[in-house]
Amino acid sequence: MTTIDEERQRLDRIAAESLYGAGANRATIAHSFKVFERYIRPGPVLEMGPAEGHMTGDLVSTNQPLTVVEGAAFFCDSLRARFPSAEVVHSLFEDYAPAQAFETIVLGHVLEHVDDPVNILRIASAWLTPTGRILAAVPNARSLHRQAAVIMGLLAFEEELNGADHHHGHRRVYNPETLRRDFREAGLEIEVFGGYWLKPVSNGQIERDWTEEMLTAFMTLGERYPDIAGEIYVVARRRS
């Protein structure tokens, strides 16, 4: 377990070198919002860990009251300047104490970063309204490109952290079973499990060789094959 000061320093270091807005990663965030938009309900929205705010702009466009909580001061300064209609809170999730409940809580590429994801989900579930939902997306260890990397000897096993994982500050790579497990252990009931982005090769190969049309098509194609998609997601509510 890391201390609060260590975690703040870690987040600021990752923020200074972030690549989430680059290349194929940007398209991934855009498609994850396209998926999440289906489940966003009228009422207050909380985005946890928005980083550069690539999804934040899309959430603003829903015209729902938006709060974002972000642990990196560097990102918070940028978010406040770009999204004046949103309430931007600089805080670790564990220290945040919202004044209201939320109808929708969005965790886009967050759970792979945090020290204790089950605890974070428990905390977030307490911030939901009685009808509220948590929407969460993470990279999938069972993605085709990671399976191929194991066969080629580039990864020892599908959940092994690769160079990009370390750069982004990932602490784990989920598979469908471990993602469902963490939601269940947090006392949440999964209503929807899905995936997107059928990803056969690495980001570098995609950015070098693929057209935008190819990238869009494979994002959508992954929704047909969630267990082997590049990204997986969950829609969950508090267990009744």
Report the pLDDT value the prediction gives residue 10, as an integer from 0 to 100.
Answer: 55
Is pLDDT above 70 for 13? no
Report the pLDDT value the prediction gives residue 164, as an integer from 0 to 100.
Answer: 86
Q: Are 52 and 75 in contact (CB under 8 A)?
A: yes
| CATH code where residue 67 lies | 3.40.50.150
Is pLDDT above 90 for 86? yes
- The stretch 34-54 carries a mean pLDDT of 97
Report the pLDDT value the prediction gives residue 54, as an integer from 0 to 100.
Answer: 94
Per-residue tokens: 85: 């209609």
Record the pTM.
0.90
The Cα 236–Cα 135 span in angstroms is 7
- The stretch 60-69 carries a mean pLDDT of 98
Tally Cβ neighbours within 10 Å of residue 42: 10
**C-alpha count within 13 angstroms, C-beta hemisphere, residue 178:** 14
Per-residue tokens: 52: 């550069």
The Cα 28–Cα 16 span in angstroms is 21
> How many residues does the structure list for the chain?
240
Percentage above 90 pLDDT, the chain = 85
Tally of domains in the chain: 1
What is the domain extent for residue 57? 4-238
12 or 78, which is more confident?
78
